[in-house]
Structure 1
Amino acid sequence: MRFTLSLVLFLLFLFQCSSNDSNLIPQSCKEASNHDPNLSYDFCVSSLEANISKNNPPTKLEDLVGISIQITKTNGTNIIANILKLLNNQTFSQYTKACLKDCFDLYKGSISTLNDAMVAFKSKDFGTANIKLSAALDTSVTCEDQFKDKKGEVSPLTKENKVYFQLNVISLAFIQMFNQHT
């Protein structure tokens, strides 16, 4: 009887622990989106859940900060590859190609900036991490805005810029939450 009771209590404890872990992403995204009007709860949850390892799920907010920065870096690297493909498109005007080249440089620099943000976060320098993430966030805005400088130009990167912006917002929101909870 004692063994059965101990087993039941142990299983309940395990269930509670795994339940808390499985709620980490939705709970964190909810808190973040409640404090940041630029952050979509659904985007936050789907982005993180699609990119986490099922074998090694995050167990605390600190894990989510690192994961969100890594997802943003991967996304930025994919945008760079897409820009290189777009530069080979002969139908774009010289103005569009010049904007794409600028966007390439911006995104390339933002990958380095995100690396710096990760180093700063790991060393508990939240101010620098915040500054670096904000700079990376500006990449997508600057890239998109330059296409608007010439009437009639349409950015071929609008969707990518919006996603990159949102991913950066997630990282910024999580760092601010982590800083407040420590």
Structure 2
Amino acid sequence: MKLSQVFYIIFLFFLVSQVNSTSDMIEQTCKSCAAKSTIFDYNFCVSSLNNSPIDLPSPTNLSSLALVPMLQALDNATATASTIQQLLISDDDGGFRGACLRDCLELYQDAADRLEEAVRVFIARKELGTVNVMVTTAMESAMTCEDGFRDRDGYSGGGAMMWTSPIGGENYKLFKLGQIALCIINMLSSSVTSITF
């Protein structure tokens, strides 16, 4: 066997071991998060972290992993605000649905601003507590948007008249991405606390 072939085999082995290391860390992180909450979606977590919008360093650490759901949530918030604008252009009749969409647009624009700032603060290595609050606020925006469609529009009957949200999937996705980010941020906070004290 030639020396170049030996180096090539060693390089491939190193590359595969780094990929496995990142995969293992993602799975362990998602398992830890799922163990802490009955509503945490393990499969969504693994899928999201494996589809990073950024190149993760190998081996991945929790700090770089925490950026992934924050950036995905920012993408989600920005895209959803754009979707809402299109919905308002195409079918705003000035009624209840349009009012809900206008509220959601404001909420999503605010969520995008909060998430953008959260990423900036996180990268600058400032307070994790501040990042936690910003991500939580973005998640609340999604839930507030969804709840707006559940209100009744002057309905006085005995039964509940529920309105269907045209962006329910986006609301739920932002909430789940926020859960992942918060879980990893809390892990980081715990490790900082345990080192400090």
Query: For the Cα contact (< 8 Å) 2:53–2:72, is it kept in 1?
Result: no
Indicate the residue corresponding to 1:138 in structure 2. Answer: 140
1:19–1:153 distance in 2 versus 1, CA, 3 Å: closer
Query: For the Cα contact (< 8 Å) 1:30–1:41, is it kept in 2?
Result: yes
After the TM superposition, list the runs of 4 or more consecutive aligned residues in structure 1 that deviate by more than 4 angstroms: 10-13, 15-18
User: Within 2, Cα distance between the matches of 1:97 and 1:18?
Assistant: 47
Indicate the structure whose relative CO is greater, using CA pairs within 8 Å and at least 6 residues apart: 1
| Residue 157, structure 1, aligned to residue 158, structure 2 | no
Trace 1:108-123 onto structure 2 (pairs within 5 A): 108-122=109-123, 123=125
Trace 1:6-17 onto structure 2 (pairs within 5 A): 14=14, 16-17=17-18
Higher helix share: 1
Shift of the alpha carbon at 1:38? Answer: 2.9
Aligned length: 173
> 124-133 or 30-39: which moved more?
30-39
Question: Does the residue aligned with 2:40 lie in a helix, a strand or coil?
Answer: coil
- Taking structure 1 as the reference length, what is the TM-score of the superposition? 0.84
Query: For the Cα contact (< 8 Å) 1:137–1:168, is it kept in 2?
Result: yes
Deviations 1:163-182 (A, max 9, x none): 11101111111101111123
Q: CA RMSD in A?
A: 2.3
Question: Does the residue aligned with 2:90 lie in a helix, a strand or coil?
Answer: coil
Deviations 1:69-117 (A, max 9, x none): 1110001111111111211233766110010011001000011111222
Indicate the residue corresponding to 2:41 in structure 1. Answer: 40
- Taking structure 2 as the reference length, what is the TM-score of the superposition? 0.78
1:27–1:52 distance in 2 versus 1, CA, 3 Å: farther
Indicate the residue corresponding to 2:179 in structure 1. Answer: 169
Trace 1:1-182 onto structure 2 (pairs within 5 A): 14=14, 16-53=17-54, 56-58=55-57, 59-90=60-91, 94-122=95-123, 123-150=125-152, 151-182=161-192
Structure 1: give runs of 5+ residues left out of the alignment: 1-6
Question: Does the residue aligned with 2:51 lie in a helix, a strand or coil?
Answer: helix
Query: For the Cα contact (< 8 Å) 1:36–1:173, is it kept in 2?
Result: no
Give the % identical residues: 31
